Amino acid sequence: MDLLHGLVLVFVAIGGTAVVLTRDPLAQSIVVSFYGILLGILFFVFQAPDVALSQIVVGAVALPMMILLALAKAKAEEE
Amino acid sequence: MSFLPFAVAAWLFAVGLYGIVTSRHLIHLVVCLSVVQSSTYVLLLAIGYRTGASAPIFVEIPPGAPAVDPVVQALTLTDVVVAATVSALLLAMAVQVHKKAGTFDPDELDTLQG
Amino acid sequence: MSLRGRRNLFALGVLGFSVLFLWGLNGLPAFGHYEGVYGITLNRVAVTQRHATNLVAAVTFDYRGFDTLGEEFILFAAVVGVAILLRAQRDEAATPDEEDEETKDESRDAPHTSDAVRVLGLALIGPTVLFGLYIVAHGHLTPGGGFQGGVVLATAALLVYLTGEYVALRRVSPESVTELAESVGAGGYAAIGFIGLLTGQAFLTNVLPLGMTGQLNSSGTILLINLAVGVGVAGGFSLILAEFLEQTLLVREREHG
Amino acid sequence: MSVLLPLSVVVPLVAATLLMAASRAWNRRGYDVFAIAAAGSVLVICIVLLFNSTREPMVYWFGDWSPKDGVALGVSFVAEPIALTLATLAAFLVTASLVYSWHFFDTVGNLFHVLMLVFLGAMIGFCLTGDLFTLFVFFELMSVTAFSLAGYKIEEEGSLQGSLNFAVTNSIGAFLILSGIALLYGRTGALNLAQIGESLAGGPADGLVITAFVFLIAGYFVKAAVVPFHFWLPDTYASAPTPVCVLFAGILSELGLYAIARVYWTMFDGVFGAGLVNLRAVMVGTGAVTAIVGAVMCWPQRHIKRLLAFSTVSHVGMFLVGVGLFSPVALAGTVVYLVTDGLVKGSLFFCAGILLHRLSSVDELGCDGLGRDIPYTGILFLLGGLGLAGLPPFGTFVGKAIIEEEAAHLGYSWVTYLVVAASVLTAAPVLRAGARVFWGYGPGDAYGHHSEAEGDEGEPETSEARDITPPLMWVTAAALLGVSLVAGMIPDLSIRLEPAADFFLDRGAYADLVLRGVTPHEVPLPPGAPLLKGAVIGLITALAAVFAAAMGLWHAKLPASMKGIIAKGLGPPFGRLRALHSGHVGDYVAWLTVGVAVLGGLLAATIG
C-alpha cells in the first residue's frame, strides 16, 4: 500500500460520491465520465490493464454517451 | 491504511444505494446503480492485488514471475462491458416510462400501488 | 412512503449493512498479500499450457470460457431488450408500406455539423476501425481483446453519425447487419465450442494448434473466440446506439416534416 | 451421454442466435415452429439426463479442465436429480408457454422467441453449474432476459414501471451476490463450489463467512421474492405478458430458493454445521413471515394476475420453510411441492391469459359474470384454485404433507397451521374470483364501492377474433394441470427423490464426485410412508378455502357485529401493509437494505 494507491483510491471514493450527489443528469453524465477515467487509473495501478482499458472505453465514453442520448430523446419528445 | 481499498468498495456500495433511494430522476437512478456496480470491481481487483507483482501479462516478464491474480481480472473485465449494455437497457426503460408518464420522478409514478 | 420516512428507513438499513460489510471485509487477507491457489496455479502453468501471454485472456476465453459464453449472451439479451423497448417510435413513424423503402431514409435529417468537425470525424474513422481491430486481434498477447476492441469499433460507427453521415450509415449498415453481427458473435462463440465436441472432447476444449507463444497466430481457439466476441460486442453496441439515435432522429423528423 | 450436458444449455442459446439471424427471412409461424422444436428438444434432453442421473450423478468439465490435486481450473456442470428436476420443469414450462403463444400476442418479429430461448438456456445453466461464478453469470443472464421479457408490453405504463423496479432491485441483488463471491474468493482462492466448501470447512465461521453467506442468500432472496425483498414481484407479474408470467411464477422464484439450498449444502454446511439449529430457526421464521404477508396481501386483490402474484409470494414462503428445515426429507418434499405448485400456478396464469383474450380484462369485479360463455376455462380455473389448496390427488398435497410432517419432527409443529392458513388464504381468493367471473356469483359491489377497473390492460395481448378461445390456449392450461394431478398419483413420489436429496445434502460425497471423480455409493430407498394424514389435511384445506371464498363473495350477508370486528380489527393493519407496496423503487431498495441488515444481525447473533 503506497501513496499512489491511497491517493487514487481516495479520488475514486470522492468521484463516486460526486456522481451520486450530482442530481442533474446532464451534469451527471460529465461527472460519470471523469469517474470512469478515475476507475480506469485505479485499475491500472492495481496492475489490471485489461480491465482498465475496458473501463475507460465503457465508463468514460459509452455510458456517458448513452445517458446523453437518453436525455436527448426524452427532451425531444417533450417539445 | 491497508484496509483502505476495501473500505472504498464498501463506501461506493453504500453511497450508490443512498443515491438510488433518494433519487428524484430515473436516469440519475440508473447511473447510481452503476456506481454500486463499480464497488464490486474495486473489491475484486483489490483482493487479487499482490504488492510488487506485475500484471499477469507475460510479454516482458518470464512465466512464473510474481504476477497479480488473473482470475479476478477475468471476472471483472467481461462484466464491465456487459454492465454497460444492461445500463442501456435500464436507460431505455426509463425513457419509455418518461414517454408514458411524462415524468422521470419516481415520486410521481403511482400506477402500481397496493 | 414519504421521502423522510424512506430516508430514515434507509439510514437504519445502511448502518447495519455497512457494519456487516466491513466486518466481512475485515476477514480478507491484508491488501497486497493475496495468495489464492487458483490464480497462483494459473500464473505458473497457463503460458505453457495455452501459449497465450495475456493470462487474463487465457482465463476469460479458455479456462473459464463457459462463463464468458454466458456473459456474451447477457450482452445479447440486453441488446434484444433495448431493441424491444425502443421499437415503439419506429412503428409509430413508419406506415406499413414504407417500412422497407430505402428512399425514405433520405428524408431523415442528420444534425448539422460544421465542416471542420466533419473532416476531423471522417479522418478519425479509419484509424478508429484499425485501432479497434488491433485491440481485438491481440487480445491473447497484450491487454485488450474482443470486449474492449468491440466497443472501440462501435464508436467508429458513432463517428460516422457525428459527422452527419448517418444516412450513409443506414445504407451501409442497416439494422439487419448489426443484428446479424450480434447473432454471429454470440452464435459463433458457441460454434467454436462445438469444435471440441466434434473431436470427441469436451465443449469449448481448445483443440486447435497452439502456435508459437507471443505470435499473433497462437493460442488456438482463444484468438477465434476473441474475434467472435469482437464482432458480437461491436454489433451489440452499434445496435444500441442506433436504436437510441433512431428515436431522436424520428422525433426530429416528425417536427420538421 | 455426457455430451447432452453442454447441449442442454447450448442448444437453446444457439437456436436463439439462429432465430435472431433469420430475422425477416421467416414469418411468424416459422419462428413459432422453430422455437417450439428447440425448446421441445431441450425438454427431451433434460428428461433423458434426469433419468440417467437417478442412476448415477455425473460431472462434466468444460474445456476438459478436470481438477488437478483438488484445484479446479475450469468450470463444471454437475448432473444430479434435484437440479435436473428443476431444469426439466423449466424446459416443460418454456415449451408450454411457446405453444400457448401460438395464437398469442403480436410479437415483435422474432424477438419474443429469441428471448424465451435464451431464458431457457439461462435457467438450465443455472441449475446444472457446479461453479459459484458461473452460478452468478447465469443468474444475471436469467435476470437480464427476464427484464426484457417483463417490459415487453411497452404500451403500458405499469408494465414499464414494473420492469424498471424489477431490474433495479434484482441488479442490486446480483451485486450483493458478486460481493459475496469476492469475499469467498478472497478467503479460499477458489470458485468451484466443492473446493470452496472444503476450504471453508477447515476454517472459522467468522465475519467474512457470515457476511458472504448473508450477501449470497439476500441476493437469491431478491430473486425468490422473500419478504422484505419481494416488493418488485407483484408489480412485475401483474403487468408482464401472460406466457412470461407462467415462467416467472412457475420456476424463476423457485430457482432462487434452489440456489440457496445449493450454496448452503456445498459450501457452508461444514463451517456452519454447529449453528444449524439457529440457522434453521432464522430460515423457517423468514419463510413463515413471507407465507403470511403474501397470503394476507393476496386476499384483497381484484386484479387477477396481481392476486396470483401475491399467492406466489406466499408459496415461496412455504418453499423456504421446506428448504430452511435443512433435512433431506423436507428437501424432497419441497421439490415435489414446488414442481406441482408451479404447474398449477402456470395453468392459472394461462387461464388468466384466456380471460384477457376474451374480455380484455382480468379485473375480478369488472368481469363479474362476463366469463359465463367460457365455462370450461372456468372449470380449469376453479380446479387450479383447489390444486393450490392441496386437494388430493393434486401433487401439491404430497409436498405439503411431507414438509408439515418433517417440520413437526424437528420441533416446528406450528408449520402445519401456517401451511393450512396460507393455503386457504391464497386458494380462497382464486376460487372467489373464479366463481364471480365465470358464474357471476356474489353481488357486484362486493367492496361497497366502484373504483375504476384495476385489471384493464391498455391493449389486449391478442389480435385474433375474441369470440372463440383458440384450442391451444386451453389445451396447454389443461395439460399443466393434468401433469400436476398425475404427479400426485405417483405412489411414493417424494420417497423416490429422497436418495437424490441425501446426495444433495452430503457435502463430502458432492466434493468427492466433483474434485476426485468418486461416484457416490447407492442409497437404498427408505420405506414408503402412507400420506393419509396429509390427504385429510389437504381435503380440509380445500373445504376451508371454498368456505372462505363463499364468505368473500357474500360477506355483505354476514352479521353487522362480525363485519364491524373485521373492519376495525383487520382494516388498519391491512391498510398499512398495503401502503408499504407503494410501487416506488426507492422504497423497495430501502427495504432491501434493511433486509440485508436484519439477516446479517440475526445470523451474526446466532452463528458468529
Coil, strand or helix: which one is D361?
Answer: strand
| Domain, as residue range, for A65 | 3-78
Q: What does the alpha-carbon distance between residue D313 and residue D295 come to, in Å, rounded to a whole number?
A: 8
Neighbouring chains of D at 3+ CB pairs within 8 Å? B, C
Residue D397, C-alpha cell as written in the block:
398435497
Provide the shortest C-alpha distance from residue A79 to chain C (in Å). 9
Which is nearest to C61 in space by CA: C212, C210, C205?
C205
Q: Please indicate whether, in this complex, the C-beta atoms of B93 and D164 are within 8 angstroms of each other.
A: yes
Q: What is the pLDDT of residue C96?
A: 40
| Segments of chain D with pLDDT less than 70 | 24, 104-109, 444-466, 528-530, 608
Which is nearest to B49 in space by CA: C207, D509, D186?
D186
Neighbouring chains of C at 3+ CB pairs within 8 Å? A, B, D
Provide the shortest C-alpha distance from residue C81 to chain A (in Å). 15
> Across the interface, which of B2, B45, B57 has its CB nearest the CB of A1?
B2
b/e for D30-60, b at 16 or more Cβ within 10 A? ebbebbbebbbbbbebbeebbebbbeebbbb
Q: Please indicate whether, in this complex, the C-beta atoms of C87 and D154 are within 8 angstroms of each other.
A: yes
- Where residue B62 falls among pLDDT bands split at 50, 70, 90? confident
Instruction: Name the region of C36 (left: φ>0; alpha: ψ -120 to 50; beta: rest).
Output: beta
C147 reaches B (C-beta below 8 A): yes
Residue type, B27: I
* Helix axes C3-25 and D157-188, enclosed angle (nearest 10): 20
Residue D389, C-alpha cell as written in the block:
389448496
DSSP line for D153-185: -TT-HHHHHHHHHHHHHHHHHHHHHHHHHHHHH
Q: What is the pLDDT of residue C116?
A: 74
D8 reaches C (C-beta below 8 A): no
Q: Report the C-alpha dihedral over residues C222, C226, C229, C233, rounded to 10 degrees.
A: 150
Q: Which residues on D lie below 8 Å from C87 (Cβ)? A: 108, 154
What angle (nearest 5°) sits at the alpha carbon of residue C122, between those of residues C118 and C125?
A: 140
**How far, CA to CA in Å, does B40 sit from each of A47, B74, D166?**
17, 13, 20
A33 reaches B (C-beta below 8 A): no
Coil, strand or helix: which one is D3?
Answer: coil
- 3-class secondary structure for D289-326? HHHHHHHHHHCCCCEHHHHHHHHHHHHHHHHHHHHHCC
Q: What does the alpha-carbon distance between residue D284 and residue D270 come to, in Å, rounded to a whole number?
A: 20
Q: What is the pLDDT of residue C248?
A: 58
The answer for A 42-71 residues in CB contact with C (under 8 A) is: 48-54, 57-58, 61-62, 65-66, 69-70
Beta strands in D19-155 (DSSP E): 58-61, 76-79
Q: What is the pLDDT of residue D453?
A: 44
* CA atoms D282, D284, D289, D290: torsion sign: positive
- Domains in chain B (CATH in brackets) are 4-108 (1.10.287.3510)
Q: Which residues on D lie below 8 Å from B47 (Cβ)? A: 182, 185-186
Q: What is the pLDDT of residue C218?
A: 80
Task: Specify burial of residue D528 (Cβ count, 10 A radius: 0-12, 13-18, 19+).
Answer: exposed
Beta strands in D62-168 (DSSP E): 76-79
Q: Which residues on B lie below 8 Å from D160 (Cβ)? A: 93, 96-97, 100
Beta strands in D260-299 (DSSP E): none
Q: What does the alpha-carbon distance between residue D86 and residue D341 come to, in Å, rounded to a whole number?
A: 13
Q: Please indicate whether, in this complex, the C-beta atoms of C151 and B81 are within 8 angstroms of each other.
A: yes
Q: What is the DSSP letter of A61?
A: I
Q: Please indicate whether, in this complex, the C-beta atoms of C20 and D596 are within 8 angstroms of each other.
A: yes
Q: What share of chain C is helix, strand, coil (3-state, %, to 5)?
A: 75, 0, 25
D453 reaches C (C-beta below 8 A): no
B61 reaches C (C-beta below 8 A): no
Provide the shortest C-alpha distance from residue C143 to chain A (in Å). 5
Coil, strand or helix: which one is A79?
Answer: coil
Q: What does the alpha-carbon distance between residue D315 and residue D338 come to, in Å, rounded to a whole number?
A: 9
| Segments of chain A with pLDDT less than 70 | 1, 79
* pLDDT(B64) > 90: no
Provide the shortest C-alpha distance from residue B60 to chain D (in Å). 25
Q: What is the pLDDT of residue D444?
A: 59
Residue of B nearest to D169 (CA): B33
C55 reaches A (C-beta below 8 A): no
Q: What is the ipTM of this complex?
A: 0.94
A32 reaches C (C-beta below 8 A): no
Q: What is the pLDDT of residue D343?
A: 95
Domain count, chain A: 1
D443: preceding bond cis by omega (within 30 degrees): no
Q: What is the pLDDT along chain C (257 residues), one digit of tens a residue?
A: 788 889 999 999 999 999 999 999 999 999 999 888 999 888 888 888 888 888 999 999 999 999 999 999 999 999 999 988 887 554 454 444 333 433 344 444 445 556 777 777 788 888 989 999 998 988 888 888 889 999 999 888 777 776 765 555 555 545 677 788 888 888 999 999 888 888 888 898 888 888 888 788 788 888 899 999 999 999 999 888 888 877 555 555 555 54
* pLDDT higher at B100 or D259: D259
CB-based touch A/D (3+ pairs, under 8 A)? no
Q: What is the pLDDT of residue D107?
A: 55
Spatial contact of D329 and D498, defined as CB atoms under 8 Å apart? yes
For an interface test with B, the pick among C2, C6, C21 (most B C-beta atoms closer than 10 Å) comes out as: C21
Q: What is the DSSP letter of D101?
A: G
Q: Please indicate whether, in this complex, the C-beta atoms of B106 and D162 are within 8 angstroms of each other.
A: no
* pLDDT higher at D352 or B109: D352
> Across the interface, which of A54, A65, A70 has its CB nearest the CB of C148?
A54
Residues shown for chain C: 257
Q: Which residues on B lie below 8 Å from D593 (Cβ)? A: 17, 21
Q: Each residue of C94-146: pLDDT tens digit?
A: 444 333 433 344 444 445 556 777 777 788 888 989 999 998 988 888 888 88
Q: Please indicate whether, in this complex, the C-beta atoms of B39 and D590 are within 8 angstroms of each other.
A: no
Query: What is the number of other CB atoms lying within 10 angstroms of the CB of residue B102?
Result: 13
Task: Give chain D's count of helices (H) and strands (E).
Answer: 24, 2
Q: Which residues contact C256 (CB under 8 A, 6 or more apart)?
A: C109
Q: What does the alpha-carbon distance between residue C78 and residue C80 come to, in Å, rounded to a whole number?
A: 5
